Amino acid sequence: MTTSLADHLRALPDESLAALLQLRPDLVVPVPADVSALAIRAESRVSVARALDGLDQFTLQILDAARLTRHPEEGTTSTDAVLAMATAGPHPPAPTTVRGAVDRLRARFLLYGPEHALRVAGSVDEVSAYPAGLGRPAAELDARTAALCADPAKLRRTLLAAPPSARAILDRLAAGPPVGSVPPGALQAPPVGAEDDLPPDATNGGAPTGSPIRWLVDARLLVPVSAGTVELPREVGLLLRRDSGPLGPLRTSPPSVTAPPREPKAVDSAGAGQTMELVRHTEALLESLAAEPAPVLRSGGVGVRDLRRLARAVGLDEPATALVFEVAYAAGLVGELDLPGATTSRYGADQQVLPTGGYEVWRAMSLAHRWEQLARAWLTMTRQVGLVGQRDDRDRPISALSAEAERAGAPAARLAVLAVLADLEPATAPTPDEVLELLDWRAPRRSRGREAAHREVLAEAAQLGVTGLGALTSYGRLLLADVTEADERGDDPLGLRSDAESGDPSSAVRALDALLPAPVDHFLVQADLSVVVPGPPDPALAAELDVVAEHESAGGASVHRITTASVRRALDAGYTADDLHALFRRRSRTPIPQGLTYLVDDVARKHGGLRLGSAGGYVRSDDEALLAEVLADRRLESMAFRRLAPTVLVTPYQVGRMLIALRDAGYAPVPEDTSGATVLSRPKTRRAPARASVSTRALDPLAAPKLAMPRLLGVVEQIRRGDAAARAARRAPAVVRGSAARVAAGPMPAHSHSEALAVLQQAVRDKALVWVGYVDAHGATASRLLRPVSIGAGYLRAEDDRTEMLHTFALHRITAAVRED
């Protein structure tokens, strides 16, 4: 009867083997040389850990049942034995549910073999040391404890005699994990004469004790396993669990959500309003960066003072501003620019963070398109924004955009949280605690210790408008499905296809467009020269308002104000007085106030009264009195003006400096070219080099690529061919196996590559010396006597027994492995 995993895999039809590779895609990266190599990889610690990470709590408990019911010598169990243990509790699950969990484990080959002789895959015990939270058998811990556990009646009497404080410790360890730390001095002998409540039949002969832990150790109910650590034997844990079952409470289905579903329209409306706020805050932050770029710290990222300045400009607190900042950076809207003469260091002091050229393209998009670009970037960025403001391992604050906030598992955490919301009934708003409970059941190994990160995801999703009133919005659900489907399909690995670029909006954009108010192309001018925009302005109107008015407030209806400075800015950008009058008549749905007409005409009449040139620098004007005023103005003494003619002043400074000084002094000059024509242009804005958005990145960068079934069948065919070649190689003549021969020529390739990996895998467990043959970087063959330390991620780490140095070898370069005799 076949017993090895490799034999079981060989006996599978191609479709079943491809199904295994589809459930565990990491097994084909890189493609194994043969079936034996596939079996070794399937039982490796890294691959087994990934397979266990994707299992729910109930399936993991059934795997623990299989581990606990194994025959001590044969190492096998049966489906009936697993079913008997799983249904031994007070609330037994249905047998079909248990068998379904066994089938899931067998499909992933975490259990393999016939139903009457199931085997647990190797490395499962290494990845999860304590099945069902129970300790090791007493026979493996202590002989006297094993003797106590061999007498059930005596063991029960000892438990019943335990004082309340000691019994509380036992109950806590019985719930798992079975190992606990001991306070200093707790295991020391008590002082002479101390009172003792040890039962008379305990094994310490009635010696007094000074603590509950000492009592339990003396009673053989706990076993010290190291300095300061004790372990609860498995037999004692099972006896303490007699009321709840050997596996503890079993939950065959995820916990229910008590909150009733909300009104879907209210959820979508709340979320849509937040999307408008997100886009507005992003635009305000980028405009603030354009006006005053933030310097990059030498240690990386943007400093606390700059983040506070941006927070004041945006009108948010610092954590919320950091989220907008990080998302804009991930979306390619923000980048670094090297200043002239700066160093090329990535985190040098001569870099500034400011908007990229993609910001202009983004501003021209519709509101829903702009939100989608930000939301996609948030879903896929490997940044945990909640770390900004906290302290790192060196007690230094983590700044925005710094490398310390990088977390490769952040996209997978967002996907897990949003998947929980997506699987509930639409418009259901669970509490954060309920979401954590659902995550803990769906993937307990992945969610353990990540509660804070998952709560951050919920808060960020609400700020970004992905959720509304605590529930996943309809357009958020569509976006999640679209991103997840593209990630699983993997048919655009280079990110060349973009719905936004092709002009075909995604389903999420169309759904959000239906919820947002239609963009308006007009405004209402009030008598106090305020301008009210009754809705989100279209890109053309927004661009015009940025030039001719000052922004005052935002919301469903934004408010702007026309001032002398804004009119002068419009004239500087190239507008004429007639252009401004025509703009206000075309855009305003209310009569133009007479004060606005007077303001435009008055500023336009003064605008251009001074003309600047570049003959070193000159100022000319037909108004001699105005030039006399400039010449006598003490605020302009630093310019060293000198009258060249009644209508001309000259200065040694350049035109740009003159322009700034005269405007700061309250004048309205304009530059002119050599022909005397006015040079009017919109002020140039600096932009960082364009950056690609991270929205094309996989949701889980650590996950192996998912392949379609036809490609998997091709991989299976390749593995089969390699297996046939390996069998043919094994029929080749054997080599001389002596230590002297190996020293002279090193190990010869008498075994296949997969058998060499098997020898190395066993050597890691036994910590044995192995002669390893390999091909070096120059293509030459060589051999070394090594002590393997670990195998994983395609590499062997081993210690050279002669030099006691640690070396790393690529597994594909290893040609043979022979254990030292």
Q: pLDDT band for position 347 (50/70/90)? A: very low
| pLDDT score recorded for residue 104 | 94
User: If you average pLDDT over residues 44-71, what whole number do you get?
Assistant: 91
With beta carbons less than 8 A apart as the criterion, state whether 6 and 36 touch.
yes
Supply the pLDDT for residue 432: 93
pLDDT tens for each residue of 438-459:
999 999 998 888 899 999 999 9
Residue 809 pairs in a beta bridge with 796
DSSP 637: G
**What pLDDT band is residue 341 in, cutting at 50, 70 and 90?**
low
State yes or no: pLDDT of 779 exceeds 90.
no
Q: What is the pLDDT of residue 743?
A: 40
Please give the pLDDT value at position 502.
47
Cα distances (angstroms) measured from residue 802 to each of 377, 772, 806: 51, 14, 11
Q: What are the residue ranges of helices labelled H in 381-506?
A: 410-423, 432-442, 444-447, 451-463, 474-489, 499-502
Q: Which tens digit of pLDDT belongs to each residue from 361-383?
A: 898 888 999 999 999 999 999 99
pLDDT at res. 703: 60
pLDDT at 726 over 50: yes
CA 509, 515, 521: angle at the middle one, nearest 5? 90
Work out the average pLDDT over 399-420.
Answer: 90
SS3 assignment, position 669: strand
Do the beta carbons of residue 675 and residue 614 sit within 8 Å? no
Residue 99 has pLDDT above 90, yes or no: yes
CA–CA dist 185, 189 (Å, integer): 9
Q: What is the mean pLDDT of the chain?
A: 82
Q: What is the pLDDT of residue 705?
A: 62
> Does the pLDDT of residue 771 top 70, yes or no?
yes
Highest average pLDDT, of 22-26, 58-62, 725-729, comes from 58-62
Q: How many helices (DSSP H) and strands (DSSP E) are in the chain? A: 35, 25
> Rounded mean pLDDT of 64-76?
89
Residue 522 phi/psi, 5-degree rounding, is: -145, 170
Largest CA distance in the chain: 120
Percent of the chain whose predicted confidence (pLDDT) is above 70: 85
pLDDT in tens, 135-174: 999 998 889 889 998 998 999 999 998 899 999 999 999 8
Confidence of residue 88 (pLDDT cuts 50, 70, 90): confident
Check residues 701 and 355 and name the one with the higher pLDDT. 355
Q: What is the pLDDT of residue 61?
A: 93
Asked if residues 544 and 587 have their Cβ atoms less than 8 Å apart, the reply is: yes
Q: What is the pLDDT of residues 670-709, one digit of tens each?
A: 888 777 777 776 666 667 776 666 665 555 555 656 778 8
Whether the ω angle into residue 177 lies within 30 degrees of 0, i.e. cis, is yes
Q: What is the pLDDT of residues 608-623, one digit of tens each?
A: 777 776 567 888 888 8
Pick the more confident residue, 204 or 119. 119
Q: How confident is the model at residue 493 (pLDDT cuts 50, 70, 90)?
A: very low
The confidence score (pLDDT) of residue 496 equals 40
Q: What SS3 state is found at 429? A: coil
Confidence band (pLDDT; 50, 70, 90) for 715? Answer: confident
Whole-number pLDDT of residue 462: 94
On whether the CB atoms of residues 291 and 312 are closer than 8 A, the answer is no
Residue 745 pLDDT exceeds 50: no
What stretch of H or E contains 369?
helix 367-380
* pLDDT surpassing 50 at residue 202: no
Greatest mean pLDDT among 36-40, 472-476, 526-530, 655-659:
472-476
pLDDT for 343: 46
pLDDT of 340 reads 63
Confidence of residue 728 (pLDDT cuts 50, 70, 90): low
